[in-house]
Amino acid sequence: MLSKFFKCPKRLQELRGSPAGPSLEGFARQLCQIGYSTFTAKGHIRTAEHLAYWTDGEGLALAALNESSIQSFEHHLCRCRCPQYGGRTPEVD
């Protein structure tokens, strides 16, 4: 379902090839079923991708996320320097 929101083959490969690829695919499916616009869904998928990147760096499993880890991620966002996410504009496609 990621292909509904992203057309660039390279970008689709990045998303699907990441460790969180199956989760992102399922998330995209849910966003599509609920009726999110492409623009809004892409923003949510990018945030989920960043969260997955951050959890990997912290040694956390996505399935183990809890309120405390989400608060830690929120704190991270204030000072984020992640190479693909920190201070960058989301990818258009």
Q: What is the pTM of this model?
A: 0.84
Taken in order 65, 68, 72, 73, the sign of the CA dihedral is positive
Per-residue pLDDT, 84: 84
Q: Are 54 and 82 in contact (CB under 8 A)?
A: yes
What band does 92 get if pLDDT is binned at 50, 70 and 90? very low
Taking residues 34-42, report their average pLDDT: 97
Percent of the chain surpassing pLDDT 70: 91
**pLDDT-derived band of residue 8, with 50, 70 and 90 as boundaries?**
very high
> pLDDT > 90: what percent of the chain?
80
